């Protein structure tokens, strides 16, 4: 079982796809890493030997992934809240941050609908 950056990679997936299970590694980064290390594009994670897994670990360690990335994102959001800018206010209130409308939609950020008392349907 390949464990990289604290994540167990799925055995039955190709390396490029398996690496995307790590937060901060998308498909383009995964392709760059595998091509840099010279791995076959159709190779599965289960076919990797211990030396190749160590190479992957070293290469992924050069990128900001998992805990470091999450911590940086949280620090950025808390900084926005602390300086009381518009985006920080939207984060704090749980509303869409990037200018989306909220009169309808926006259920992902706002949560489930709440009933208003005495409103006729």
As annotated, the residues of the chain forming the CATH 1.10.8.50 domain(s) are 3-66
CATH pick for 3-66 out of 1.10.8.50, 1.10.3720.10, 2.30.110.10, 1.10.357.10:
1.10.8.50
Main-chain phi, psi angles of 15, to 5 degrees = -60, -45
Report yes or no: 109 and 103 within 8 Å, Cβ to Cβ. no
Is 109 buried (19+), middle (13-18) or exposed (0-12) by CB count in 10 A? middle
As annotated, the residues of the chain forming the CATH 4.10.910.10 domain(s) are 67-110
Cα atoms in the Cβ-side hemisphere of radius 13 Å centred on 107: 5
Interval 14-30: pLDDT, tens: 999 999 999 999 999 99
Interval 60-91: pLDDT, tens: 999 999 999 999 999 999 999 999 999 999 99
CATH class for the region spanning 67-110 = few secondary structures
């Amino acid at each position: 079982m390949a464990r990289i950056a604290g994540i167990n990679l799925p055995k039955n997936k190709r390396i490029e796809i398996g690496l995307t299970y790590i937060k901060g590694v998308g498909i383009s980064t995964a392709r760059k890493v595998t091509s840099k290390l010279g791995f076959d594009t159709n190779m599965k994670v289960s076919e990797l030997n211990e030396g190749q897994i160590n190479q992957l670990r070293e290469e992924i360690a050069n990128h900001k992934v998992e805990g470091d990335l999450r911590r940086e994102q949280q620090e950025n959001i808390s900084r926005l809240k602390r300086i009381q800018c518009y985006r920080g206010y939207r984060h704090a209130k749980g509303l869409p941050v990037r200018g989306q409308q909220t009169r309808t939609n926006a259920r992902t950020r706002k949560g489930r609908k709440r009933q208003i008392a005495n409103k006729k349907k």
